[in-house]
Structure 1
Amino acid sequence: MEEVHEGNCGPHMNGLMLAKKLMRLGYFWSTMETDCVKHVRHCHLCQVYANQIRAPANELHPMAAPWPFSMWGMDVIDPVNPKASNGHLFILVAIDYFTKWIEAITLASVTAKAVARFLKRDIIARYGVPVTLITDNAKNLNNKLIDELCAHSQHF
């Protein structure tokens, strides 16, 4: 079931389609449909990329960066498999919205201190203080230490 859903032939279909595909492959058991629906409900990728049907409608706001390196988006890619050559599992990525320039580092653990050091050393020191920093509000990307760094950096 897992290989059909996620493997070479698996486009992460819904539970009933997964059951039908398994039947076409010659498999059958009495609780097949309910098992497939449960499996799809617990699939991480299906949950992350599923349609947000229950999300309320919002107005679209265009995000235009007025000049290079003024607006950065930051996120963490976790965990990578296999590990990096230095044993790190996570990748911290910052992308400039104007030029699409990417700055990235690998990390053993994503702490507020590591994110602040990355911001200071790899973004602010090289490109200046960004006007806008966009994150997904994760605790390691949006915390008191980062707020203080941004507030302190505005005085330069």
Structure 2
Amino acid sequence: MPDIEWDFPEPHVLEVAVQASDIDGLQHTNNAVYVQWCEQVAWSHSTALGLDLACYQRLDRAMAVIRGEYDYLQASREGDALAIGTWIVAWDGRLSMQRRFQIVRIADGVTLLRGLVRFACIELSSGRPRRLPQEFIDGYGPAVLDLES
């Protein structure tokens, strides 16, 4: 396996294999599947930070997607092994944060997708924006990359 050239240091990584059900009529991975993989790695990262769905429900808070930008650079095909990396690259410590994503084909190290997703903290019961609870600050805060240094 080649060394992966990640865009940022120390990504949280999820590995997947492209399944037949991921392939569309153009015989490559459907674009929506890449978005689902980004969601899966984001949840995996949140869970690793101690912020799983049960925690979100208990706190009546969630980080909800408010904008997603995806650059599809190359296609993947059935059987390809992929590494999906994510980083929290920005946040205001009050309401919002941003994640970056990179999907790499493991066999040759080629980056297939780069993404940026913006999230806002909402109250689950009302859907309204709310300040980050202390548990989110304690969990997500240490994982935010310091891109200034």
Shared fold (TM-score, shorter chain, > 0.5): no
Bigger helix share = 1
Where relative contact order (Cα < 8 A, 6+ residues apart) is larger, the structure is 2
Q: TM-score range by the shorter chain?
A: under 0.3
Higher strand share: 2
Q: TM-score, normalised by structure 2?
A: 0.22
